[in-house]
């Protein structure tokens, strides 16, 4: 599994390196303008409320899959003591360093495959933040949460704010109702494609192959539980935090489009 896993994660590294310039072109000016405001946070009201309720001030925080660092910088601006972002993409980490410098926010940005986070980070964090669009890039959730549990201190928390895996079944190309289910919820094999990853400005370019991995709610819960993470809170939401399904989000009653999950390392 390890060599396969590396094959997948290195392919995905390449894909994220390719798309960063397109994302920068679409976003850089706006982000630099927003983060010039002292204390700025891009995190939405739902997750900000939960983070504040749990307590973020003074915590040592890490983000797994931090991309351009906008959420990590926001976590620091919400009061985190230490902010460390991990991401496999060279260009995303370069961009995150540059945004943090521009915002004048102290942070540590580490280019690494999450599965290979160095031992120096073990038992160092009070809170791990994992947000939209990270879990589907992980070939193996049990191993992923093993690393997450290792870098947390005992009593530390994992915060997940992700798209609901139910949405993996929905045809993303079909923007309007009625909703079409095109995939089995229980699909096992990865999706592989060479489509553009530019979900901001939708520039078409020939991407190198990238791999996404289906998962289920029970698969996620068992990956956490089997790594000594106790589930403290879970809420399924009708909100499309991906912006891929804005029309479907208007349907009532709504679909499970996203979720918040908080787990705690017990020992
Ligand atoms: C959709 S983006 C996350 C976006 C983030 N929630 C945000 O709003 O900025 C997914 C990120 O996961 C990273 N990633 C994918 N596979 C990874 C791996 N094996 N190790 C570390 N980072 C990985 C990608 O490089 C990418 O930056």
pLDDT tens digits in sequence order for the chain, 267 residues long: 567 899 999 999 999 999 998 898 888 999 999 999 999 999 999 999 999 999 999 999 999 999 999 999 999 999 999 999 999 999 999 999 999 999 999 999 999 999 999 999 999 999 999 999 999 999 999 999 999 999 999 999 999 999 999 999 998 777 677 788 899 999 999 999 988 888 888 888 888 999 999 999 999 999 999 999 999 999 999 999 987 888 888 888 889 999 999 999 997
At residue 180, the pLDDT reads 84
Q: Which pLDDT does position 198 carry in this prediction?
A: 82
Quick check: CB of 18 below 6 Å from ligand 1? no
Longest dimension (CA), the chain: 50
Strand partners, 163: 258
Question: Any idea what the Cα angle at residue 85 is, between residues 43 and 125, rounded to 5°?
Answer: 95
What residues are paired with 259 via a beta bridge? 162, 236
pLDDT at 246 (0 to 100): 83
DSSP code at position 172:
S
How many independent structural domains does the chain possess? 1
Q: Cβ(228) to ligand 1 under 6 A?
A: no
Between CA 161 and CA 236 the distance in angstroms is 10
* Predicted pLDDT at 2: 66
Q: Which residue range forms the structural domain that includes residue 171? A: 2-265
Residue 131: CB within 6 Å of ligand 1? Answer: yes
Pocket test for ligand 1, best of 7, 87, 118, 242 (most atoms within 8 A of CB): 87
Residue in 164, 163, 147 with CA at minimum distance from that of residue 229: 147
147-159 residues labelled b (16+ CB within 10 A) or e (exposed) = bbbebbeeebbbb
> In 169-266, which ranges are continuous DSSP H helix?
217-225
CATH code at position 173: 3.40.50.150
The answer to whether 69 touches 131, Cβ cutoff 8 Å, is: no
Atom number, ligand 1, closest to the C-alpha of residue 13: 25
Q: What is the pLDDT of residue 1?
A: 53
- Residue 100's CB is within 10 A of a number of other CB atoms, namely 23
| Residue identifier of the C-alpha nearest atom 10 of ligand 1 | 134
Helices (H), the chain: 2-35, 45-54, 70-77, 90-103, 141-151, 217-225
Cβ atoms of 22 and 198 within 8 Å: the answer is: yes
Structure confidence at residue 171 (pLDDT): 81
> Half-sphere exposure (CA, 13 Å, Cβ side) for 32?
11
125-166 pLDDT per residue, tens? 999 999 999 999 999 999 999 999 999 999 999 999 999 999
259: which residues sit within 8 A by CB, 6+ positions away? 160, 161, 162, 164, 217, 234, 235, 236, 237
Q: What is the pLDDT of residue 83?
A: 98
pTM of the predicted model as reported, rounded to 2 decimal places? 0.96
pLDDT for position 241: 93
Ligand 1 center from residue 252 Cα (angstroms): 31
Nearest 5°: phi and psi at 60? Answer: -90, 115
Helix, coil or strand: residue 176:
coil
């Amino acid at each position: 599994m390890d060599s396969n896993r590396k094959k997948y994660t290195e392919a995905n590294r390449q894909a994220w390196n390719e798309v960063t310039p397109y994302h920068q072109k679409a976003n850089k000016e706006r982000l630099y303008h927003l983060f010039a405001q002292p204390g700025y946070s891009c995190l939405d009201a739902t997750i900000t409320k939960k983070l504040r309720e749990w307590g973020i001030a003074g915590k040592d925080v890490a983000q797994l899959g931090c991309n351009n660092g906008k959420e990590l910088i926001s976590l620091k601006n919400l009061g985190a003591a230490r902010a460390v972002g991990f991401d496999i993409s060279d260009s995303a980490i370069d961009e995150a360093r540059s945004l943090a410098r521009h915002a004048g926010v102290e942070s540590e940005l580490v280019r690494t495959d999450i599965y290979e986070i160095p031992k120096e980070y073990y038992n160092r964090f009070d809170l791990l933040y994992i947000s939209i669009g990270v879990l589907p890039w992980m070939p193996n959730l049990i191993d992923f949460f093993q690393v997450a549990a290792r870098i947390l201190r005992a009593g530390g928390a994992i915060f997940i704010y992700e798209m609901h895996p139910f949405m993996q079944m929905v045809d993303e190309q079909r923007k309007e109702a009625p909703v079409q289910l095109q995939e089995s919820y229980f699909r096992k094999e990865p999706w592989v494609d060479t489509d553009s990853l530019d979900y901001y400005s939708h520039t078409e370019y020939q991407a190198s192959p990238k791999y996404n991995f289906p998962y289920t709610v029970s698969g996620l819960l068992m990956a956490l539980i089997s790594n000594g993470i106790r589930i403290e809170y879970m809420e399924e939401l009708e909100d499309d935090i991906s912006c891929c399904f804005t029309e479907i989000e208007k349907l009532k009653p709504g679909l499970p489009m996203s979720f918040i999950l908080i787990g705690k390392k017990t020992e």
